[in-house]
Amino acid sequence: MNKPELLVTPGSVNEIKKQIEAGADAFLIGEQRYGLRLAGEFNRQQVKEAVALAHEHGKKIYVAVNAIFHNEIANELDDYVAFVKGAGADAIVFGDPAVVMAVRETAPGFPLHWSPETIATNYYTANYWGKRGAVRAVLARELSMDAVIETKEQADVQIEVQVHGMTCMFQSKRPLLGHYFEYMGKSMEIQKRQGTQNMLLHDAERSNKYPIYEDANGTHIMSPNDMCIIDELQDLVEAGIDSFKIDGVLQTEEYRIETTKLYRKAIDLCVDQPDQYEEEKEGMLEAAEALQQEHRPLDSGFFFKETVY
Amino acid sequence: MNGLKNDGISEIIDGKRVIVKKPELLAPAGTLEKLKIAVRYGADAVYIGGQEYGLRSNAGNFTFEEMKEGVAFAKEYGAKVYVTTNIFAHNENIDGLEDYLRGVGEAGVTGIIVADPLIIETCRRVAPNVEVHLSTQQSLSNWRAVKYWKDEGLDRVVLARETTGEEMRLMKEKVDIEIETFIHGAMCIAYSGRCVLSNHMTARDSNRGGCCQSCRWDYNLVEMEDGAEVAITQEGDSPFAMSPKDLRLLQSIPGLIELGIDSLKIEGRMKSIHYVATVVGVYRKVIDAYCADPENFTIQDEWLEELEKCANRPAAPAFFAGTPGADEQLFGVHGKKASHDFTGLVVDYDKATQMVTLQQRNFFRPGDTVEFFGPNLDTFNQIIGTVVDEDGNELDAARHPLQIVRFKVERPVSKDDMMRKGL
CB neighbour class for A38 (10 Å; exposed up to 12, middle 13-18, buried from 19)? buried
For chain B, say whether A199 makes contact (Cβ under 8 Å): yes
Q: Which of A37, A78, A122, A294 to mutate to probe the B interface, most B CBs <10 Å?
A: A122
Predicted pLDDT at B55: 87
**Candidates 3.30.70.20, 3.40.640.10, 2.40.30.10, 3.65.10.10; CATH matching B340-422:** 2.40.30.10
Nearest to A200 among B138, B201, B222 (CB): B222
User: Are B329 and A100 a contacting pair at CB < 8 A?
Assistant: no
Predicted pLDDT at B335: 87
Bridge pairing between strands B243-244 and B418-422: unpaired
**Chain A positions in Cβ-Cβ contact with residue B238 (cut-off 8 Å):** 183-184
User: Are A129 and B117 a contacting pair at CB < 8 A?
Assistant: yes
Is pLDDT at A191 greater than 80 in this prediction?
no
For chain A, say whether B148 makes contact (Cβ under 8 Å): yes
Contact B245, B316 (CB under 8 A): yes
User: Are A179 and B139 a contacting pair at CB < 8 A?
Assistant: no
d(C-alpha A297, C-alpha B310), whole Å = 45
**Chain B positions in Cβ-Cβ contact with residue A200 (cut-off 8 Å):** 221-224, 229
CB atoms within 10 A of CB B392: 7
Dump pLDDT digits (tens) for A287-296: 999 999 999 9
Contact B25, B283 (CB under 8 A): yes
Dump pLDDT digits (tens) for A153-189: 999 999 999 999 999 999 999 999 999 999 998 877 7
User: Could you give the angle at which helices A13-22 and A44-56 cross, rounded to 10 degrees?
Assistant: 20
For chain B, say whether A185 makes contact (Cβ under 8 Å): no
Q: Which of A34, A166, A183 to mutate to probe the B interface, most B CBs <10 Å?
A: A183
For chain B, say whether A173 makes contact (Cβ under 8 Å): yes
CATH assignment of B10-192+244-330?
Answer: 3.20.20.70
Domain boundaries, chain B: 10-192+244-330, 340-422
Is pLDDT at A190 greater than 90 in this prediction?
no
Q: State how far Cα A225 lies from the chain centre.
A: 15
Domain boundaries, chain A: 5-166+226-299, 171-220
User: Are B205 and A174 a contacting pair at CB < 8 A?
Assistant: no
Average pLDDT over residues A219-243: 98
d(C-alpha A114, C-alpha B75), whole Å = 41
Predicted pLDDT at B60: 66
User: Are B142 and A184 a contacting pair at CB < 8 A?
Assistant: no
User: Are B90 and A184 a contacting pair at CB < 8 A?
Assistant: no
User: Are B145 and A74 a contacting pair at CB < 8 A?
Assistant: yes
User: Are B94 and A308 a contacting pair at CB < 8 A?
Assistant: no
Predicted pLDDT at B1: 40
The DSSP H or E segment spanning B76 is helix B64-76
CA-based nearest distance B324→chain A, Å: 7
Dump pLDDT digits (tens) for B256-300: 999 999 999 999 999 999 999 999 999 999 999 999 999 999 999
Bridge pairing between strands A243-247 and A5-8: parallel
3-state helix, strand, coil in chain B (%, to 5): 30, 30, 45
**Chain B positions in Cβ-Cβ contact with residue A119 (cut-off 8 Å):** 88, 115-116, 137-138, 193-194, 207
Interface of B with A in 29-68 (CB under 8 A): 57
**Chain B positions in Cβ-Cβ contact with residue A222 (cut-off 8 Å):** none
Q: Which residues of B263-295 are buried (b: 16+ CB within 10 A; e: fewer)?
A: bbbbbbbebbbbbbbbbbbbbbebbebbbeebe
Interface of B with A in 336-375 (CB under 8 A): none
Predicted pLDDT at B312: 92
Predicted pLDDT at B334: 85
Predicted pLDDT at B59: 65
CB atoms within 10 A of CB B76: 8
**Structure confidence at residue A261 as a pLDDT band (50, 70, 90):** very high
Could you name the CATH architecture of A5-166+226-299? Alpha-Beta Barrel (3.20)
ipTM of the complex: 0.97
Nearest to A128 among B117, B210, B329 (CB): B117
CB atoms within 10 A of CB B60: 17
- Which regions in chain B score pLDDT beneath 50? 1-4
